[in-house]
Copies of this chain bind each other. A is one copy, B any other.
Amino acid sequence: MTERSEQGVLESAGGSRAGNRALSVTDHIREAILGGMVGAGERLNEVRLSRTLAVSRTPVRAALQALAGEGLLDYAPNRGFSVREFPLDAIVDAYDIRASLEGLAARFAAERGLSPDEKAVVERSLADGDKLLERGAFEAGDRTIYRGINGDFHDTLLAAARNRMLSEMIRMCHHVPVSSSRNIVAFNHRDVRRRHDDHHRIYDAIMAREPWRAEMLMREHVSGVKASLVKSLTEGRDQEPFE
């Protein structure tokens, strides 16, 4: 069973990272997992992967090790690697963790201040969002566009926090399969409007150098996403919040 066979899904691995197969293989498998192509709990067979990706087992093993380090895979001695399972509880919890951590990042950003570049990017994301939202309704690719804007905002604040460990932990939260932004599609205009207002307030707090307020606002902001997720889940619809 689970004869889904990565064939065709993980083909060729000719990724961008020239000169180091292990890295491109890592990217490849990560995408496959986050894209939901390999299914939770599924065991990853080294020889099959190496055949599929046309490399030896060595870089495959390296990739699996790396992905286990990212929290995407589980390892059991003499039994290899399998896709980590994320119960619904864990997915919901991940938003709380992210709320705490991103709140902390906002605090650090407020304490440390933004570089001119960072300031520019954030202000641009705010302006672009305002412009996109002023129409009052979404058109075709608008959600995808706003996802980029949203990503810029959060990524830049995270960079401004200037703490590597914090970045990595937040990245881990983003790599929880279901909460992964790539799977997220639907969201109504009013909610996005509200989230974007949050962004404005958070930025104000940071520029006013009010760390505590920035932290609280960011925590609340991310918690709001969790609430939306839970709501959409309990309502039985499988639409998901996108941030």
Contacts and interface: CB of A to CB of B under 8 A. Distances in A.
Interface string A61-89: 11001101111000001100000000001
Contacts of A169: 97, 169, 172
Interface stretch (A7-15, A100-108, A151-159, A228-236): A100-108
Most buried by B among A66, A93, A100, A166: A100
A23 interface: yes
A59 to B, nearest CB: 11
Contacts of A176: 165
A172 B97 CA distance: 14
Nearest to A104: B100
A65 B164 CA distance: 18
Nearest to A103: B100
B77 A19 contact: yes
27 contacts: A19-B77, A19-B78, A61-B62, A65-B65, A65-B66, A69-B70, A71-B165, A71-B168, A89-B162, A89-B163, A90-B165, A93-B163, A93-B165, A94-B165, A96-B107, A97-B104, A97-B163, A97-B166, A97-B169, A100-B100, A100-B103, A100-B104, A101-B101, A165-B172, A165-B173, A165-B176, A169-B172
Given A89-B163, A97-B165, A100-B101, 13 more contacts: A20-B78, A62-B65, A65-B66, A68-B69, A69-B69, A89-B162, A93-B165, A93-B166, A96-B104, A96-B107, A97-B104, A97-B166, A100-B103
Interface of A: 19-20, 23, 61-62, 65-66, 68-71, 77-78, 89-90, 93-94, 96-97, 100-101, 103-104, 107-108, 162-166, 168-169, 172-173, 176
